[in-house]
């Protein structure tokens, strides 16, 4: 719930602490900047000049909810839940989407509260309801995050943008960042057959270079597992990711129809840990 995470929030304009008006009204800071709380339970902390064109669309979010809800990526959620420090009391998910992974982590941490951060209001409508201890906030990962300095004990980042300086700022000393990124093998059986976007072979190298100046690398583990997907599930895994912006729907349907049934598909990700010293 939003009231559970207000103490971690900061005004995106002036950086001062935010408070929730009586009766669950708008958020406000001492400088009298105010921010609406949607009836779906999330707060919009985007500055007025922000652009939301890169956020997931309603269709992408619906596809993600369907695919994740079917449990296809449950091993990734389990790996995150097992890697987050047991003493974490506030976990922020940067690029939270529907809140699926954050909810799995909170189930493993009965004392913790969660902040779902995303630029897509369509995603946060679902994230706000993903777990009783989750509060959802619309923000831009590439701008100053609307969180107080040194306010959170852990940050999750799953298939999402990473802002190293801001993640360092909001993490407490000793806090942990967990990053899930695809390996070149991820969905490999579909990339060529369906004309999807592939993964750069140097992605892990670029990840370390981006975060290395701000956080200390602690190590990585690879999580690779097989999936057997029917054709509707293949369509949802395409529709929920970046390839949704680059594929022709009719041509995609034609290519999916030519796949085996069920289609064997590999999921392969790297889980990397960083800390703020």
* Domains of the chain in sequence order: 2-275 (3.40.50.150)
Structure confidence at residue 182 (pLDDT)? 94
Structure confidence at residue 23 (pLDDT)? 61
DSSP string, 1-22: -GGGTGGGBB-TTT-PBPEEPT
**pLDDT per position as a tens digit, 84-133:** 999 999 999 999 999 999 999 999 999 999 999 999 999 999 999 999 99
**Average of per-residue pLDDT across 169-198:** 92
∠ CA 156-81-168, nearest 5°, is 25
Structure confidence at residue 121 (pLDDT)? 92
Percent of the chain with pLDDT over 70: 95
d(CA 5, CA 153): 13
Structure confidence at residue 45 (pLDDT)? 92
User: Please, which residues have CB within 8 angstroms of residue 21's CB and are 6 or more apart in sequence?
Assistant: 27, 28
pLDDT at 61 over 80: yes
**pLDDT per position as a tens digit, 17-47:** 999 877 666 899 999 999 988 888 889 998 7
Read off the pTM: 0.93
pLDDT at 13 over 80: yes
**Average of per-residue pLDDT across 271-277:** 94
Q: What mean pLDDT value characterizes the chain?
A: 91
- The 3-state DSSP class for residue 84 equals coil
pLDDT at 74 over 70: yes
Structure confidence at residue 153 (pLDDT)? 97
**Average of per-residue pLDDT across 197-224:** 84
Tokens linked to 129: 């309801």
pLDDT at 51 over 70: no
């Amino acid at each position: 719930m939003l009231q559970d995470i207000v103490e971690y929030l900061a005004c995106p304009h002036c950086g001062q602490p935010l408070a929730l008006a009586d009766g669950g009204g708008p958020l406000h800071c001492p400088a009298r900047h105010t921010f609406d709380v949607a009836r779906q339970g999330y707060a919009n902390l985007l500055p007025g000049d922000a652009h939301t064109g890169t956020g997931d669309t309603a269709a992408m979010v619906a596809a993600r909810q369907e695919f994740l809800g079917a449990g296809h990526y449950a091993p990734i959620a389990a790996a995150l839940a097992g890697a987050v420090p047991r003493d974490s009391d506030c976990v922020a998910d940067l690029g939270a989407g529907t809140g699926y992974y954050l909810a799995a982590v909170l189930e493993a941490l009965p004392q913790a509260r969660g902040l779902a951060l995303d630029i897509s209001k369509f995603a946060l409508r679902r994230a706000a309801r993903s777990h009783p201890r989750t509060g959802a906030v619309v923000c831009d990962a590439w701008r100053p995050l609307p969180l107080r300095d040194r306010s959170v004990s852990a940050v999750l980042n799953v298939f999402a943008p990473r802002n190293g300086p801001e993640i360092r700022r909001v993490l407490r000393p000793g806090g942990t960042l967990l990053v899930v990124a695809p390996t070149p093998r991820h969905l490999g059986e579909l990339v060529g057959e369906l004309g999807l976007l592939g993964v750069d072979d140097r992605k892990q190298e670029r990840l370390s270079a981006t975060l290395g100046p701000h956080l200390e690398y602690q190590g990585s583990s690879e999580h690779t597992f097989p999936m057997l997907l029917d054709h509707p599930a293949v369509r949802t895994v395409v529709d929920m990711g970046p390839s949704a912006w680059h594929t022709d729907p009719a041509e995609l349907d034609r290519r999916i129809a030519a796949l085996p049934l069920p289609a064997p598909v590999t999921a392969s990700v790297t889980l990397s840990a960083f800390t703020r010293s």
